[in-house]
Amino acid sequence: MGTVTVVGSYVVDLMSRTPHMPKVGETVLGGPFRMGPGGKGGNQAVAAARQGSQVTMVTKVGKDDFGVIARQNFKRENIDTSYVLVDNVESTGAALIAVDNNGDNMIVVALGACGKLSAEDVAQTEEAIKNSSIVLVQLETNIEAVQKTAEITKRHNIPLILNPAPYQEFPREILKAVAYITPNETEATLLTGVKVTDEGSALQAAKVMYELGVPNVIITLGEKGCYYYNGGEKGILYQGFKVQAVDTTGAGDAFNGGLAHALAEGKNLEEAIKYANAVAALSVTKVGTAPAMPSKQEVADFLKYFAKD
């Protein structure tokens, strides 16, 4: 069993369906309304745990009912909550999510307590990090927490996956500690200055990230799959799986959690990317974020079905 430590965000997802995305000043009658666990860190932790990884979550919640529910949800998913810290001032974060009839989404995140995760907080987790098969981090917390995670993983030679989402500026020296980076097209564009629209521009952007020190660049391209580059003249486009999308919220988190699990389990990168694509594809066939993450058996059955084609 691989061990995965996720350092990142936890927020409560407050989601409603909408017939179309509201224009400025417009009120739209939607529904139904759903509330559930979320945040990029929390979603990725659940995705990896449901695949069978031994997962430790490092985050911060408020001293409120949502914080209690967060710890209960993590324990229900068999995720180690030893480093789910409590902030006595800030409330637990929340995400306001609208999903339209096409399955597309718009999200506003109020980070709350997880936005206060500090370098000192992360330093307390060094024992867990150094005993991990792989560590996964996003940009949905303080950058200083990301930087401290990178320092610890580099010191102990633990592979680090950086999912640079949602994108915000960060010190580029962090990239020298990153083994795998997983931006989507928008994040790759913001990080490199190269507008990613197709395979050719994905290669250009990937080369920039590679030259900044990341040996494995994986640009996720939604239903088209992902583009992988590790040096040389060109990379590889790994096709995604064709499914009927119901809700695309959390698909990137599903991919990252699936990738972390597969790499921690010892799969080679090609197998790991295929596995992550399957986890992501299955996640969009259900409504929600963390609750939509597929089980290990669902992924196995899905891959077996596509292997027939």
In three-state secondary structure terms, 120 is helix
Q: What is the pLDDT of residue 158?
A: 98
Confirm whether residue 213 is marked as ligand binding.
no
> For residue 166, is the peptide bond before it cis, meaning its omega torsion is within 30 degrees of 0?
yes
Torsion 258-104-164-88 (CA) sign: negative
Q: What is the pLDDT of residue 156?
A: 98
Q: Let me know if residue 31 belongs to a domain.
A: no
Tokens of 309: 């084609």
Known active-site residue 253 = yes
Cβ–Cβ < 8 Å for 8, 40: yes
* Mean pLDDT, residues 26-30: 93
Does residue 309 carry a pLDDT above 60? no
Measured CA to CA, the distance from residue 185 to residue 250 in angstroms comes to 15
Please write the tens of the pLDDT for every residue from 224-268. 889 999 999 999 999 999 999 888 889 999 999 999 999 999 999
Confirm whether residue 173 is marked as ligand binding.
no
Please write the tens of the pLDDT for every residue from 59-103. 999 999 999 989 999 999 999 999 999 999 999 999 898 989 888
Q: Let me know if residue 104 belongs to a domain.
A: no
Q: Let me know if residue 164 belongs to a domain.
A: yes
Nearest to 92 by CA among 102, 84, 80: 84
**What is the percent of the chain where pLDDT is above 70?**
99
* Mean pLDDT, residues 36-44: 93
| Beta-strand pair 11-17/92-99 | parallel
Residues in the chain: 309
Tokens of 129: 């990090």
Residue of 65, 253, 301, 309 marked active site:
253
In three-state secondary structure terms, 86 is strand
Cβ partners under 8 Å of residue 108, min gap 6:
95, 96
Q: To which H or E segment does residue 271 belong?
A: helix 269-283
Q: What is the pLDDT of residue 293?
A: 97
Mean pLDDT in the chain? 94
Q: What is the pLDDT of residue 260?
A: 98
Q: What is the pLDDT of residue 123?
A: 97
Chain CA centroid to CA 90, Å: 23
Residue 266: phi and psi, rounded to 5, are 100, 10
pLDDT category at 308 given cuts 50, 70, 90 is: low
pLDDT category at 44 given cuts 50, 70, 90 is: very high
Residue 57: phi and psi, rounded to 5, are -105, 130
Residue 270 domain boundaries: 3-7+40-91+115-307
Q: pTM score, two decimals?
A: 0.92
Assign residue 70 the CATH number of its domain: 3.40.1190.20
Confirm whether residue 43 is marked as ligand binding.
yes
Does residue 1 carry a pLDDT above 80? no
Domain count across the chain = 1
Q: Let me know if residue 180 belongs to a domain.
A: yes
Please write the tens of the pLDDT for every residue from 198-225. 999 999 999 999 999 999 999 999 888 8
Q: What is the pLDDT of residue 208?
A: 98
Q: Let me know if residue 32 belongs to a domain.
A: no
Confirm whether residue 120 is marked as ligand binding.
no
Q: Let me know if residue 295 belongs to a domain.
A: yes
Cβ–Cβ < 8 Å for 91, 66: yes
Q: Let me know if residue 119 belongs to a domain.
A: yes
**What is the percent of the chain where pLDDT is above 90?**
86
Confirm whether residue 288 is marked as ligand binding.
yes
Q: Let me know if residue 178 belongs to a domain.
A: yes
Please write the tens of the pLDDT for every residue from 134-168. 999 999 999 999 999 999 999 999 999 999 999 99
Does residue 191 carry a pLDDT above 90? yes
Measured CA to CA, the distance from residue 94 to residue 39 in angstroms comes to 8
| String of DSSP letters for 171-205 | -GGGGGG-SEE--BHHHHHHHHS----SHHHHHHH
